[in-house]
Copies of this chain bind each other. A is one copy, B any other.
Amino acid sequence: MANDSLHSREKILDAAEALFARRGYTGVGLREVAEASGLVKSSLFHHFRSKAQLYCEVIARVLDRIQLQLAPVFASRVGVAERLDRIIEALIDALAEHPPTARLLLRSLVEEGDFDSAEEAQRVDETLAEILDGIGGLLREGVKAGVFRRVSVPHMVQTLIGATVYHFASGDLGEGLLGRPILCAEEVRRRKREIQNLLHNGLALNSSPQVLSEA
Contacts and interface: CB of A to CB of B under 8 A. Distances in A.
A70 to B, nearest CB: 15
Interface residues of A, number: 68
Given A23-B26, A106-B110, A112-B23, A177 B158 contact: yes
A169 B169 CA distance: 14
Contact of A82 (B149, B196, B200, B212): B212
Interface in A188-215: 190-191, 193-204, 206, 208, 210-213, 215
B170 A110 contact: yes
A213 B159 contact: no
Nearest to A156: B194
A66 to B, nearest CB: 15
B208 A177 contact: no
10 contacts: A24-B26, A26-B27, A81-B212, A82-B212, A86-B213, A109-B173, A158-B174, A159-B163, A159-B195, A200-B210
